Structure 1
Amino acid sequence: MNGRQAAASGVVLFVSVMMILNGIWGIIVGIAAIAKREFFVLAPNYVYEFDTTGWGWIHLIIGVLLVGLALALMSGQGWARWPAVALAVLQAIEHFFFIPYYPWWSILVIILDIIIIWALLTYIPETV
């Protein structure tokens, strides 16, 4: 394993833990948005206005999928790599549209998604 692979391998473990935390946060935010529609306040006349209950379901579903894929990555399942990349891209796009509801967290999640995508695309699991 070369130095780049070793760094990416360590980052994959870090990314898996971040995906779990991110997924749990998404589940909590999703439940909060579903349970109480007024939990998030939106600035008036935003172009990409979406119902907070809809955002809640999106966060909940992506959160559950993130946790599942992170656990699969941690257990060394190679098949989970590409779905995790796709889900990280989807989550980054979703949080771009969620910026007016929760700006600083959305920007942080987008940055974490970029790290997740880099780590998963750089890391190539060794085949035996």
Structure 2
Amino acid sequence: MAAPPPPAAPRRNLLPFAGVALVLLALFNGLDAMAALTDSKVLTGTDRYVFGDLHSLGWTVLALAIAQGLAGIRLLTGDLPSRWFPTAVLCADLFVQFVFLPSYPVWSLLIIAIDVVALWAVLTAPDPR
């Protein structure tokens, strides 16, 4: 008779990582929003936007940054049953970063990678119940 399989290793909870990543993404997107709203020379130039202008993009990214900050704080304080909000915020940021992709491809791809890893951490975390 074969020996029973060894017990599975407990899964690590990566929600604190996701919370810190969301707070950092909120900081980065807040800086991008401030640059867009103040007509910074970093974002202006020959960039063309399909939806609206640079100011509307700035307000959208600022609202997203506030939502990311709130979602990160909720994860860091242990509000685990409501993981749908951080998931929705991370998915929204994935789409918003595609707007910046033509202007800043390396930066946008870095932020998209952080979004994907944080999204994976939120979705694969063990159920708190």
TM class by smaller structure: 0.7 to 0.9
**Per-residue deviation, 1:83:** 1.0
CA-based RMSD: 2.1
Using the size of structure 1 for normalisation, the TM-score is: 0.82
Q: 1:123 aligns with which of 119, 122, 125?
A: 125
Residue 19 of structure 2 is aligned to residue 19 of structure 1 = no
Give 1 or 2 for the bigger CA radius of gyration.
2
Contact map agreement 2:26 2:68 (CA 8 A) in 1: yes
Q: 2:94 aligns with which of 81, 92, 95?
A: 92
Equivalent position of 1:5 in the other structure: 11
Moved more, 81-90 or 93-102: 93-102
Residue 85 of structure 2 is aligned to residue 83 of structure 1 = yes
Distance (whole Å) between structure 1 residues aligned to residue 71 and residue 49 of structure 2: 32
Mind listing any 5+ residue stretches in structure 1 that lack a counterpart? Answer: none
Contact map agreement 2:100 2:108 (CA 8 A) in 1: yes
Closer/same/farther in 2, CA of residues 43 and 36 from structure 1, 3 Å limit: closer
**Per-residue deviation, 1:50:** 4.4
Mind listing any 5+ residue stretches in structure 2 that lack a counterpart? Answer: 1-7
Equivalent position of 1:54 in the other structure: 56
Contact map agreement 1:37 1:52 (CA 8 A) in 2: no
Consecutive aligned runs of 4 or more in structure 1 exceeding 4 Å deviation: none
| Equivalent residues, number | 122
Closer/same/farther in 2, CA of residues 33 and 83 from structure 1, 3 Å limit: same
Distance (whole Å) between structure 2 residues aligned to residue 59 and residue 35 of structure 1: 13
Distance (whole Å) between structure 2 residues aligned to residue 34 and residue 48 of structure 1: 17
